[in-house]
Every structure is written in structure tokens, then in C-alpha cells.
Amino acid sequence: MRIEQFSNGLWILKEDLSHTLVSSNFSQPRATTHKMNIIEVKGLCKDYVMGDQVVHALRSVDLTVEPGEFVAIMGPSGSGKSTFMNLIGCLDRPSGGAYLLNGEPVATMGDNALADVRNRYLGFIFQNFNLLPRTSAIKNVELPLMYAGVKNRTERAKAALETVGLAQRMDHKPSELSGGQQQRVAIARAIVNDPVLILADEPTGNLDSRTSEEIMAVFQDLNRQGKTVVIVTHEEDIALHCKRIIRFKDGRVLVDERVKNQVDAREALKQLPNPDAPPIAVA
Ligand SMILES: Nc1ncnc2c1ncn2[C@@H]1O[C@H](COP(=O)(O)OP(=O)(O)OP(=O)(O)O)[C@@H](O)[C@H]1O
Ligand SMILES: [Mg+2]
């Protein structure tokens, strides 16, 4: 009996039956599959060298994230949250440790392979939206498809904008959109390639509370559709919209806990005043 792992991450149990096989009834290997982690890091370290000083931004982080999780990364400023996101997002390389992304050992990959992995597996959202300022919403969303060499770009970009409820604004440039709408465009751009993992570093950091709630509703919808989502936030009430909170301190994981009563953003929105509602007439 031997076990092989295929590139798609499935573990295959292969029985060597050649010595017992007479008929071909059992000629196919029996296969069992295990749920594969989306993120698996072990001993992950990141040092930044600044002249003769070394900043130990991450000190041996062990962590796994399974498909369908919705994780909030929290912790004080400088605790290593963005460093961690940049590493799991393959935007930077660790100084030490192992990282399997969807089963692939990305820590040791070359630049081209890493760019390919980023395009295939990941969608990023940043605090300041990072949209091209003079380009329409739909063209911004089409960008990752262009890099991936996809043909029916407009159709897919439209579908992504519909998913985030922004189909009516697709010809607007970022300056013609509100902060929340710009963040929706950024989310549409992040999901247009159908990534397995959505990463967002302080996605509501520049937004007021109602708009933050609306953005969390979009993330919750995506998570309910099966997407794995990891966000960084400084706000406790935003973190409570997730299913799990991981707290960093001094480059280490301090606390890793399940959220018992996940806040439903759509329910929370019903409790907030609606700015679009007609004004109440005063007698
Ligand atoms: N490019 C860099 N060069 C040198 N040091 C860095 C670099 N990026 C981050 N650091 C340092 O690494 C540590 C962790 O920084 P990081 O940006 O990950 O913190 P953070 O938890 O995201 O903080 P914040 O909440 O303020 O965004 C800090 O001490 C920071 O000064
Ligand atoms: Mg940060």
C-alpha cells in the first residue's frame, strides 16, 4: 500500500493488488480524499533588515485555514498582521518556515510560478482600494482577466460587479464613486478570477460604519457561497462578522478563537438608519 499526493492536493491511497488480481474487477486503485487546507504555515518567520538592525516581524507562526473559513486577523499596530497577509498573499517571501497554499509549497517557488499562483488562487483587497484612477469600474475589474489571458472579459467583469451590487455604476471612474462603491469595485476585481482565497487588509479602514456593514455583507455573501476569506481589522465589531479571530502580538499568534455569535451584516444593516430613506415629516 502506498500514498501519493497529486498536484491538485488529493491524497490517493493506492493498493498494490497486482499479486492478487486475477480478473480486472479491482484494477482501479481505491481512492480516498481528505479536505485540504487552503493555508498551512509552519514556523513562518519574516525578518526585515534595516542597516545593522533586524526587525523580527513574524516569529515562527503555525496556522492552518480550511476551505470555507472566514478569519479576522487582529492585533496592535506593528504586531505583524500586514506582514503575514503579504506572505500568505505571495507578495513577499518568508525568511524561514514552510507555506502550503492550496497544497502547493509556494515559499520555494520562483517569481513566475509565484505570479501564476497569485493569479490563480488569490484575490486581494486593500484599505485604500488601489484602483486605477482614470479607468472605469468595469475596466478595473477586467485587469486580472487580462493578465490571465481570458477572452470573455467584459462578461465576467459584469458578473463580478453584479455580485457586489454595482452593475449600475460600471462605467464610472473611481473619482465618480463613493468610498464604499470603490471598495465594491475592488472586491469585484478580487473575485473576478474565481480565487480560492480572498485576502483583505483593513478593507473597512477608510469607511463609515454603515458602509463598513455593507462591505461586510458582501464578504459574508461570498463566504456563504463557499469562498475562504481572511481579513485584517482593528475593529472588534467588524471581527465579530467573521467565524474565527486570530490575534497577533509581537509577530506571534497570541489567541486563536471561534466566534460564537457571528454578527449577520444584513440583519445589522436593518438596525442602522438608512440615509436613502425619505425624511420623516415633522408636524
Ligand atoms: N518593509 C519593511 N521594512 C522594514 N520593517 C518593516 C517593513 N514592513 C513592516 N516592518 C516592520 O515589521 C513590523 C510588523 O509590521 P506590519 O506592517 O506587519 O504590522 P501591522 O500589524 O500590519 O501594523 P498596522 O496595524 O499598523 O498596520 C513592524 O515593526 C514594522 O515596523
Ligand atoms: Mg498593517
- pLDDT one-digit tens code per residue, 207-263: 999 999 999 999 999 999 999 999 999 999 999 999 999 999 999 999 999 999 999
The Cα–Cα gap between 46 and 55 comes to 8
CB 156 within 8 A of CB 232: no
Is the per-residue pLDDT at 274 higher than 70? yes
Q: Where residue 119 falls among pLDDT bands split at 50, 70, 90?
A: confident
Find the mean pLDDT for residues 163-174: 96
pLDDT, tens digit, for every residue of 47-65?
Answer: 999 999 999 999 999 999 9
CA distances from 13 to 3, 29, 36, 195, 256 (A): 5, 7, 15, 28, 33
Nearest atom within ligand 1 for CA of residue 248: 21
pLDDT, tens digit, for every residue of 24-50?
Answer: 333 344 444 567 999 999 999 999 999
Fold of domain 67-91+115-271:
Rossmann fold (3.40.50)
Return the residue whose CA atom lies nearest to atom 1 of ligand 1. Answer: 48
- Sorted by sequence, the CB contacts under 8 Å of residue 3 that are 6+ apart come out as 11, 12, 13, 14
What burial letters (b/e) apply to 107-126, b meaning 16+ CB within 10 Å?
A: bebeeeebeebbbebbbbbb
Report whether residue 50 contacts ligand 1, using a CB cutoff of 6 Å.
yes
Report whether residue 26 contacts ligand 1, using a CB cutoff of 6 Å.
no
The pLDDT value recorded for residue 204 is 95
Q: For cell 440583519, what's the residue?
A: 267
Q: Where residue 3 falls among pLDDT bands split at 50, 70, 90?
A: very low
What's the chain's average pLDDT?
A: 87
Report whether residue 200 contacts ligand 1, using a CB cutoff of 6 Å.
no
Rounded distance from Cα 96 to ligand 1 centre (Å): 17
Q: How does strand 252-258 pair with strand 96-101? A: unpaired
C-alpha cell at 163: 455580485
Side chain identity, residue 27? S
For ion ligand 2, residues whose CB falls within 5 Å: 82
Report whether residue 55 contacts ligand 1, using a CB cutoff of 6 Å.
yes
Report whether residue 233 contacts ligand 1, using a CB cutoff of 6 Å.
no
Q: Where residue 279 falls among pLDDT bands split at 50, 70, 90?
A: low
Report whether residue 77 contacts ligand 1, using a CB cutoff of 6 Å.
yes
The Cα–Cα gap between 68 and 74 comes to 19
Report whether residue 75 contacts ligand 1, using a CB cutoff of 6 Å.
yes
Nearest Cα residue to 67 out of 104, 31, 40, 86 = 40
Find the mean pLDDT for residues 194-204: 95
The Cα–Cα gap between 7 and 93 comes to 22
∠ CA 135-212-190, nearest 5°, is 40
Nearest Cα residue to 142 out of 178, 170, 117, 181 = 170
Rounded distance from Cα 130 to ligand 2 centre (Å): 15
Domains of the chain, residue spans: 1-34, 67-91+115-271
pTM (two decimals): 0.86
